[in-house]
Amino acid sequence: MNYTLHQLEIFRTIAQLQSVTKASEQLFLTQPAVSIQLKNFQDQFNLPLFEVVGRKLYITEFGEEISETAFKILEQVQSIKYKSAIFEGKIAGKLNISIVSTAKYTMPFFLSDFINANETVSLTMNVTNKMAVLRSLENNECDFAMVSTIPKKLKIERIELMKNKLYLIANRDFNSTKKKILLKDLNTNLFIFREPGSATRLAMEQYLIEHRVTIRKKMELTSNEAVKQAIIAGLGISIMPVIGIKNELQNGDLQIIDIKGLPIETNWNLIWLKSKNLSLVAKAFKNHIELKKEAIIQQHFSWFNDSN
C-alpha cells in the first residue's frame, strides 16, 4: 500500500460528511480532484470503503474502521507538527472557543491577528446559543467562551471586551412618524423572538415584562440572521443586538426605533473556568486579548461604540 496523508485526510472528511461534494467544499478542493483521490485510495484495498445507493454515498463498516484509523494517524501527524514548532520556540497547539451567536460578529476580529501570527495554532470555534456555550464551558470542552451574561453557577475568570447594545429594530416601512413611540403602540405588531436559551431572548423578555408590554402576536426563530431577514421582509419587529446589522442600517433596510428604556446595554466577556489549567496556546491568546483588545475595538468597532 502506498496511500498518502492527503488521501487519508480526504477520505476521513468524506466519511464524516457522507458526501464528496461537501468534502470538496470543506477542503477547498474541486469535486473532481476529491473523486480522483478517493478512487486512488479505494484501489489500495480489496474491500469496499463505500457504496453508492441511488445518488447517496454510504461508508461501509470496513470504511468506518479505516476512517477512525485515519483520524488517529492525522492526529499524530498534527502532534508532530506541534512538537516541532514548540521546539522551534513557536506557539503551537489547539485553541477551542465557544461563543454565543451574536459574538460571531465580534470574536473573529479578536482572533484574526493572533491566528495569522501563529500558523501552528489550530482553531475550533463553536457558534451556538448561551445555554449550549455554558454547557460546553462547564464540561471542559472549550478553553474560552464569549458571552454577554456572566454565569452565576460557575466559578469563572473573565476579560471584559466591549459593550453589547440591543435596540428595537423594524424594517424601512415601519411607521415611525412619532418622535417617541409609546409602549402601547407596539401591541399590534408581531414580535420576533430568538429561541429559548438565547441571551438575546432573555434580555427581550425581561424588557417586555419590566415595561408591562403584552404580546399579542409572536414568532420564534433560531438565529439572529433569521430574525434580521424576517424583519427586513416586514414580518415583524424585534429587540436585537445592533452589532450584526451595521450594513442594513446604513443602506436603510432596517431602522432603530426610539423607545423608552432602550438600548439595553450588556458587555461581551471572554470567560474561562477558574479551575481551568490553560494550555500554552490558551495563555498566549489570553495575553494577546489583554494587550490588544482596546486597539482592536478602536480599529473595528468605533462605529458601534459611537451609536446612541
pLDDT in tens, 126-144: 888 888 899 999 999 999 9
Q: What is the predicted pLDDT for the residue at 220? A: 93
The verdict on 10 and 70 lying in the same domain is yes
Boundary residue ending a domain (87, 115, 143)? 87
Boundary residue ending a domain (47, 71, 87)? 87
The verdict on 260 and 282 lying in the same domain is no
Q: What is the predicted pLDDT for the residue at 77? A: 82
In this prediction, residues 168-183 reach a mean pLDDT of 75
The number of domains in the chain is 3
- Number of other CB atoms surrounding residue 304 within 10 Å: 18
pLDDT in tens, 32-47: 999 999 999 999 999 9
Indicate the average pLDDT of the chain.
88
In this prediction, residues 97-110 reach a mean pLDDT of 91
Least confident of 71-85, 187-201, 241-255: 71-85
Q: What is the predicted pLDDT for the residue at 140? A: 92
The verdict on 134 and 259 lying in the same domain is no
pLDDT in tens, 193-241: 998 888 888 888 988 888 888 888 889 998 888 999 999 999 999 999 9
Q: What region does 231 belong to: left with phi over 0, alpha with psi -120 to 50, or beta? A: alpha
Nearest CA-CA partner of 202 in 161, 246, 150, 159: 150
Which CATH number covers residue 187? 3.40.190.10
The verdict on 169 and 292 lying in the same domain is no
The verdict on 141 and 190 lying in the same domain is no
Model's pTM, two decimal places? Answer: 0.69
The verdict on 153 and 171 lying in the same domain is no
Range of the domain at 44: 5-87
The verdict on 175 and 119 lying in the same domain is no
The verdict on 169 and 248 lying in the same domain is yes
Boundary residue ending a domain (87, 108, 142)? 87
Nearest CA-CA partner of 227 in 191, 199, 257: 191
The verdict on 139 and 275 lying in the same domain is yes
The verdict on 118 and 36 lying in the same domain is no
One-character DSSP codes across the chain: ----HHHHHHHHHHHHHT-HHHHHHHHT--HHHHHHHHHHHHTT-SS-SEEEETTEEEE-HHHHHHHHHHHHHHHHHHHHHHHHHHHTT---EEEEEEEEGGGGGTHHHHHHHHHHH-TTEEEEEEEE-HHHHHHHHHTT--SEEEESS--SSS-EEEEEEEEEEEEEEEETTS---SSSB-GGGGTTSEEEEEPTT-HHHHHHHHHHHHTTPPPSEEEEESSHHHHHHHHHTTS-BEEEEGGG-HHHHHTTSEEEEPBTT-SEEEEEEEEEETT----HHHHHHHHHHHHHHHHHHHHHHHHHHT--
Which CATH number covers residue 38? 1.10.10.10
Grid coordinates given for 75:
492526529
The verdict on 148 and 207 lying in the same domain is no
More confident residue, 76 or 254: 254
Is the preceding peptide bond at 263 cis, omega within 30 degrees of 0?
yes
pLDDT-based confidence at 11, cuts 50/70/90?
A: very high
Planar angle of CA 285, 103, 266, nearest 5 degrees: 105
In this prediction, residues 255-272 reach a mean pLDDT of 90
More confident residue, 197 or 99: 99
The verdict on 116 and 207 lying in the same domain is no
